Structure 1
């Protein structure tokens, strides 16, 4: 089975920012890279594309510029929502767990651990030895809790919960250099300094926009929501840079 060039182009169109760091969901595009948000269902690692469906993880070889071949499909579990690549691991957010898979052999993902929690809808982002997961009841899951969880993943075979912080219907998240953005949908978004995971510090809260997902790159946060796309500078202070409104 092959992934056509048309589908590949559609995936490229889903990327908002071209960048050159090694963050999650990076994509080689014309010699550069692209970065997806925390709610994407696909991730790139080198010459391989990983796509999460509701229950499976599919692996594609994308080394060819013309056709991309599906190599393997792995049964994971129910309710997969998001996928993030970091180093030699994939982190899959599901309605009932965070799954960790090793891609030391990129063509053959191997199950490492299933970190369970109550039923929610969970994007996952990773920086260093920590994973950041949002649990939300404000979507089609219709149950669960509203919280930010910080998890120690220094041992992928035994993730340990560091802290749990109450939030307002959190969804998309982004992390860069210990600055964490949490999108809270109709409640806007909140920015935290998470240097100390046991005592995170709120730096900013914006409540006058709808915030769905976020990408952090070069000191700019690109936030998507029902009413448009917003860009904020955030290095020294939070500054609105641009708005692309969306009319329903």
Structure 2
């Protein structure tokens, strides 16, 4: 739908009418395929034509062949109670078991995942980020926990940092020994994690509603209420807010791949942003089927969406120009 605004200017009794239209979406997003996963799909990551999907209601990791996006096929399932976020690296799936810690699974055989180990935690593990042999874990109760994963069979805690409000810790991103931490009630925390036993807070940006973020080059994008906050992290220890990118929905998670960002919302499906000019992102596409998007993963022209009640949905992006 195109919205037209009439702007009337009167100069020396001459009336000039200027037509202002909203930007046209240049990306057509269509649904290619889908598969049910159990009723409460939370997260997805795709590696070499295989989708790894977490589902809370099914209490399981689902491994799905998506080499034919129009016909996804379930390969296997592995029980992980209360799982939330996951990462895949070197044929290992790291998946957060909300009430019991971090679980590692060997998926070299995607038809038969094998348990490797568990990092036990009495809190509520919700998210994680991995750099080399270190996992940075978000615990809703205890904040940031840093774990040595160099030996996948024996995980050891290196340090922790409690920030923000209990129950509101959300996400973590780490680069060059600096961690960016979001708290849904308080805002963005920046800390030095070069010494996990002595984590130092560097700066803090106060803002409620900050959710699951992503980074592209020297820019940090954080979903926040009805917009995405864009920060410059050219000075890593002191992020600078550049602008508030209006989404017109309630964004919760942003996923970036190259010059494309996919924003998952709680009430309007997904919004796709063009980041070719990273300082001035713009919405170029959207898709909504009345589901609740909780996460996504981008591979080439496809978006794999963790739809809370609709399972795994596979969307295709096609230029309309």
Normalization by structure 1: what TM-score? 0.75
1:156-191 per-position Cα deviation (integer Å, ceiling 9, x unaligned): 101000012112231112223333111111200112
Instruction: Name the structure where strand makes up a greater proportion of residues.
Output: 2
Distance 1:199 1:231, change over 3 A: same
- Given that residues 191 and 200 in structure 2 are in contact (C-alpha distance below 8 angstroms), is that contact kept between their aligned partners in structure 1? yes
The corresponding residue for 1:122 is 126
Distance in 1 (alpha carbons) for counterparts of 2:144 and 2:130? 13
Residues 1:53 and 1:235: Cα distance change in structure 2 (over 3 Å): same
RMSD of aligned residue pairs (Cα, Å): 2.2
Q: Separation in 1 of the partners of 2:249 and 2:88?
A: 33
Moved more, 58-67 or 42-51: 58-67
Report if aligned partners of 1:60, 1:70 keep a CA contact under 8 Å in 2.
yes
Inter-partner Cα distance in structure 1 for 2:249 and 2:106: 42
Contact 1:80-1:94 at 8 Å conserved across structures: yes
Unaligned runs of 5+ in 1: 9-38, 137-144
What secondary structure is seen at the aligned counterpart in 2 of 1:213? coil
Q: Structure 2, unaligned stretches of length 5 or more?
A: 1-30, 36-40, 251-321
**3-state SS of the aligned residue for 1:123?**
strand
Shift of 1:210: 2.3
Cα distance in 1 for residues equivalent to 2:176 and 2:191: 11
Q: Does 1:95 align with 2:98?
A: yes
- 2:78 matched to 1:79? no
Larger Rg: 2
Q: Separation in 1 of the partners of 2:112 and 2:47?
A: 13
Structure 1's consecutive aligned runs of 4 or more residues displaced over 4 angstroms after TM superposition are: none
- 1:59-70 to 2 correspondences below 5 Å: 59-70=63-74
Question: Which residue of the other structure, out of 99, 105, 112, is the alignment partner of 1:108?
Answer: 112
Which residue does the alignment assign to 2:222?
223
Q: In 2, Cα distance between the equivalents of 1:40 and 1:179? A: 27
Distance 1:102 1:44 in 2: 16
Greater relative contact order (Cα < 8 A, sep 6+): 2
The residue aligned with 2:271 is: none
Q: Does 1:239 align with 2:235?
A: no
Q: Residues 118 and 44 of structure 1: is their aligned pair in 2 closer, same or farther, counting only changes over 3 Å? A: same
The answer to whether the 8 A contact 1:149-1:165 is kept is: yes
Q: TM-score, normalised by structure 2?
A: 0.59
- For residues 52-100 of structure 1, the C-alpha deviation after alignment (integer angstroms, 9 at most, x for no partner) is 1121111111222432211111122x21111112232111112221101
Find the counterpart in structure 1 of residue 253 from structure 2. none
**How far did residue 146 of structure 1 move?**
3.2
In structure 2, relative to structure 1, the CA distance for the partners of 1:48 and 1:239 (3 Å cut) is same
2:7: which partner in 1?
none
How big is each residue's C-alpha offset from its partner over 1:192-214, in whole Å with a ceiling of 9 and x where there is no partner? 23222222332321013421111
Question: How much does 1:131 deviate?
Answer: 0.7
